[in-house]
Structure 1
Amino acid sequence: MPLGTALLISSCYLFSGVAMIYVQHLSRGLPEPAVDLLYPGVLVFAVGAAGNFYHHLLLSRLRAGGGDKGYKIPRGGLFELVACPHYLFEIVAFFGFAMISQTVFALVVAVGSAAYLAGRSSATRKWYASKFEEFPARVKALVPYVW
């Protein structure tokens, strides 16, 4: 990944994290939500973070050994069903975080991130299909069996 892209993505995550902490600070003293989503949110976040980590691990193993610099179709996990399962689990993690914080800002971040990652997933799937003739047509962009 180019350094500029890595810095931009890292900056976005840093800004979002700082802004969510600030919004939590601003919401102190407001009435608590009628339904506490802390524990379900922690579970959703943990599933999203673990799935994201696992699929990034699979991606890192594609070029293990350093000799082969060519592109490959990822295998294993949900890569058999979707082109970007790591994005799917990242979206799940963002919605888990929104459930934990229960602020409109965190929900907007989750929805915005989902829209951005859905677009990237679609573009990635199209790229795989154009680069590899053997890319399975059954593999969807982001949501297994749906899209």
Structure 2
Amino acid sequence: MAIISSGYFFLTATMIYTQHLTAGLPDTPLDLLYPGVVVFAIGVAGNFYHHRLLSQLRTTKQDSDGDGGEKQYKIPTGGLFGLVTCPHYLFEIVSFFGFAMIAQTVHALVIAFGTAVYLAGRSCATRRWYESKFEDFPASTKALVPYLL
């Protein structure tokens, strides 16, 4: 958790610094601020919603002596979980591209693409894990993008 948090902190700091460096440059001919805010808001809302669904799955089976227990895993349902294993990653990618639209810098776009590649890999690994743990895992459920990936 600390590594991921520090990574997000570093990315945020470099994007803020990049925005500072572009302060004196002329504006781009196409202003993507407002569409970017909409895309970012959709990404954040979808990410939050699917993380909430995931948090409701976390249960622990108690041992007979009452000391802690073992984790019980379930296939998530609701939202886009019927179509993809990691809709929270999909919406996180959407929010990063929304931010890139707002920032309109190459640096923010590279971070959005890098995040997309990283989370696509993680979602494929998560799908393989679900397939190994659950015999009844639906074959039609994709890893990240409904009907495609």
TM range (shorter): over 0.9
Match of 2:117 in 1: 115
Alignment of 1:28-47 (within 5 A): 28-47=23-42
Ranges of 4+ aligned residues in structure 1 off by more than 4 Å: none
Match of 2:2 in 1: 7
Q: Out of 14, 18, 21, which is 1:19 matched to?
A: 14
Per the TM alignment, residue 100 of structure 1 is displaced from its structure 2 partner at its CA by 0.2
Q: Distance in 2 between matches of 1:62 and 1:114?
A: 25
1:128 aligns with 2:126: no
Q: Out of 76, 96, 99, which is 1:97 matched to?
A: 99
Q: Distance in 2 between matches of 1:12 and 1:111?
A: 15
Q: Distance in 2 between matches of 1:57 and 1:67?
A: 20
Q: Distance in 2 between matches of 1:145 and 1:103?
A: 31
Q: Once superposed, what is the RMSD of the aligned Cα atoms?
A: 1.0
The alignment-based identity, stated in percent, is: 69
Q: Distance in 2 between matches of 1:135 and 1:9?
A: 29
More strand by percentage? 2
Which structure is larger by alpha-carbon Rg, 1 or 2? 2
Q: Give the unaligned 5+ runs of structure 1.
A: 1-5
TM-score relative to the length of structure 2? 0.92
| Residues 47, 92 of structure 2: 8 Å contact kept | yes
Deviations 1:65-122 (A, max 9, x none): x547211110100000000000000000000000000000000000000000000000
| Residues 84, 141 of structure 2: 8 Å contact kept | yes
**Equivalent position amino acid for 2:138 in 1:** P
Q: Distance in 1 between matches of 2:8 and 2:32?
A: 23
**Equivalent position amino acid for 1:107 in 2:** L
Q: Give the unaligned 5+ runs of structure 2.
A: 63-70
| Residues 61, 72 of structure 2: 8 Å contact kept | no
